[in-house]
């Protein structure tokens, strides 16, 4: 798939269940991330026209399934990208959970398949497998999981997973189950994506590197007779002018000291994730040279694992960069910004009008009394355009 059939894109936002604030690497400007705050972010994303929200997973996060279950009832169109964890969940249990949440959300569940790339965290979860073995588990897991959600009764005996007579009695709303999203840069991960996944995700690397990666994934999928969609995970720092945007990027890491950066990079170095290694290589643990491409900044990755790059610039510049990724065939853009509530509004107001959005994610039609039109002037006149 070179790009969405109708030339549109789907915009996702992010639920910061591992913390949020105005600055990275410090408690200054931090805020409590409780149910009420997550409700505000989810409602904003729903009302502003985002297609869905990604809920992160791991020991640093609130459980993604419980968060999605708490938020789905208060939103109407918003989809929830929730993680299944091969090796942590048996495939039959994961399939039942997915079918249940898909029904309760009336078909608004999407699945993020997460293999896990931190050996220390994995051991804490009882997983003592090598990198290659974890992707073997993922492949076997998805073989059983996907067949269950298609309504099959499954007997399967693999190297790691063995089930007999597995089935789910109550089907999901979405035919064949919620779509599968997945990211991974190693050869083993790409093989899993080519054979099992609906949408392949990458972190925000320079356009040339993303093009090379997608070309490999597309070739391997086509060799199996499959066509995938593609997505990218990025932060965004958009302001009315480019100068303001770069100043905001500098402020975001203004309170990060060298010791904090070194401690974070030590943690990232222990991981056997190829994607994390590619992220770390973009900045090499240094504040120098963080501008790694046109309007692309690697500063977030100094202290944040996973997605570590941001699009920085004016609305027109950020929209242009998004269209460049779209031209590679990317149609799913999973975005975030600090703090997440305010930046969801800022991006929607400044950039969304410049992008070709999927019609399923458009904000609801406004009535004449709700605008948007700004505050009434002098209690008498609405402002002109």
Query: Does residue 378 lie in a domain region?
Result: no
In a domain, 316, yes or no: yes
- Give the largest Cα separation in the chain, rounded: 74
Task: Please state the length of the chain.
Answer: 385
Q: Which residues, 6+ apart, have CB-to-CB distance to 96 below 8 Å? A: 168
CA distances from 245 to 93, 239, 296, 333, 343 (A): 45, 5, 12, 20, 12
**Structure tokens belonging to residue 3:** 């790009």
Tell whether 367 is covered by a domain.
Answer: no
3-state secondary structure string, 163-208?
EEEECCCCCCCCCCCCCEEEECCCHHHHHHHHHHCCEEEEECCCHH
Residue 264's nearest CA partner among 286, 246, 282 is 286
| Predicted model pTM | 0.92
Q: With the C-alpha atoms ordered 36, 39, 44, 47, is the resulting torsion angle positive or negative?
A: negative
* CATH code, domain carrying 171: 3.20.20.30
pLDDT value of position 16: 97
Q: How far is CA 117 from CA 24, 96, 127, 130, 131, in A?
A: 22, 25, 11, 10, 8
Q: Which of 54, 53, 117, 56 is nearest to 87 (CA)?
A: 117
Query: Which pLDDT score, from 0 to 100, does residue 371 have?
Result: 63
- Domain annotation covers residue 361: no
Could you tell me if residue 204 is inside a domain? yes
Q: What whole-number distance in Å separates Cα of residue 22 and Cα of residue 251?
A: 9
pLDDT at 70: 98
Rounded Cα gap, residues 308 and 305, in angstroms: 7
In angstroms, rounded to a whole number, what is the distance separating the alpha carbons of residues 344 and 14? Answer: 9
Residue of 38, 48, 45 lying closest to 13 (CA atoms): 45
| 4 occurs within a structural domain | no
Q: What is the pLDDT along the chain (385 residues), one digit of tens a residue?
A: 334 446 999 999 999 999 999 999 999 999 999 999 999 999 999 999 999 999 999 899 999 999 999 999 999 999 999 999 999 999 999 999 999 999 999 999 999 999 987 888 888 988 898 989 999 999 999 999 999 999 999 999 999 999 999 999 999 999 999 999 999 999 999 999 999 999 999 989 999 999 999 999 999 999 999 999 999 999 999 999 999 999 999 999 999 998 998 898 888 888 878 888 888 888 887 888 899 999 999 999 998 888 899 999 999 999 999 999 999 999 999 999 999 999 999 999 999 999 999 866 555 555 555 666 777 666 667 787 6
Rounded to whole angstroms, the Cα distance separating 60 from 127 reads 17
> For the chain, first and last CA: distance in Å?
39
Determine contact, residues 236/337, Cβ cutoff 8 Å. Answer: yes
Return the pLDDT at 360: 60
113 and 146 Cβ atoms separated by less than 8 Å: no
Cα 259 to Cα 266: distance, rounded to the nearest angstrom: 11
Would 304 be classed as within a structural domain? Answer: yes
Q: What is the pLDDT of residue 1?
A: 35
Domain presence at residue 297? yes
Name the residue range of residue 249's domain.
10-354
Task: Compute how many other C-beta atoms are within 10 angstroms of the C-beta atom of residue 322.
Answer: 24
- Can you give the pLDDT at residue 276? 83
pLDDT of residue 5: 46
Euclidean distance between CA atoms 287 and 302, whole angstroms: 8
Residue 242 to residues 139, 182, 317: CA-CA distances in angstroms?
44, 33, 8
Number of domains in the chain: 1
């Amino acid at each position: 798939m070179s790009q969405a059939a109708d030339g549109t894109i789907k915009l996702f936002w992010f639920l910061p269940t591992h913390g949020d604030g105005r600055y990275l690497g410090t408690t200054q400007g931090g805020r409590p991330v409780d149910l009420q705050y997550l409700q505000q972010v989810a409602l904003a994303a729903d009302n502003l026209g985002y297609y869905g929200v990604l809920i992160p997973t791991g020991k640093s996060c609130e459980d993604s399934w419980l968060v999605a279950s708490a938020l789905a009832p208060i939103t109407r169109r918003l989809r929830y990208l929730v993680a299944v964890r091969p090796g942590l969940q048996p495939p039959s249990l994961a399939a039942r959970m997915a079918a249940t949440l898909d029904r309760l959300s009336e078909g608004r569940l999407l699945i993020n398949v997460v293999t896990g790339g931190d050996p220390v965290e994995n051991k804490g979860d009882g997983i003592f497998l090598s990198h290659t073995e974890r992707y073997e588990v993922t492949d076997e897991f998805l073989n059983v999981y996907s067949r269950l959600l298609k309504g099959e009764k499954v007997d399967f005996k693999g190297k790691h997973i063995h089930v007999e007579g597995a089935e789910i009695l109550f089907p999901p709303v979405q035919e064949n189950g919620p779509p599968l999203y997945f990211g991974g840069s190693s050869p083993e991960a790409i093989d899993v994506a080519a054979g099992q996944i609906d949408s392949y995700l990458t972190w925000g690397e320079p356009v040339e590197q993303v093009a090379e990666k997608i070309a490999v994934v597309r070739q391997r999928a086509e060799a199996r007779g499959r066509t995938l969609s593609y997505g990218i995970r990025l932060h965004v720092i958009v302001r009315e002018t480019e100068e303001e945007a770069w100043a905001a990027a500098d402020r975001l890491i203004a309170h990060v000291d060298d010791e904090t950066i070194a401690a974070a990079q030590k943690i990232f170095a222990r991981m056997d994730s190829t994607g994390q290694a590619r992220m770390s290589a973009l900045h090499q643990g240094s504040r120098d040279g963080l501008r790694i491409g046109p309007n692309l900044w690697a500063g977030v990755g100094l202290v944040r694992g996973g997605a570590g790059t941001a699009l920085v610039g004016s609305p027109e510049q950020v929209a242009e960069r998004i269209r460049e990724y779209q031209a590679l065939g990317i149609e799913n853009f999973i975005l975030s910004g600090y703090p997440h509530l305010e930046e969801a509004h800022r991006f929607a107001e400044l950039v969304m009008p410049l992008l070709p959005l999927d019609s399923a994610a458009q904000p609801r039609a406004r009535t004449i009394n709700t605008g948007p039109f700004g505050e009434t002037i002098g209690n008498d006149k609405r402002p002109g355009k």
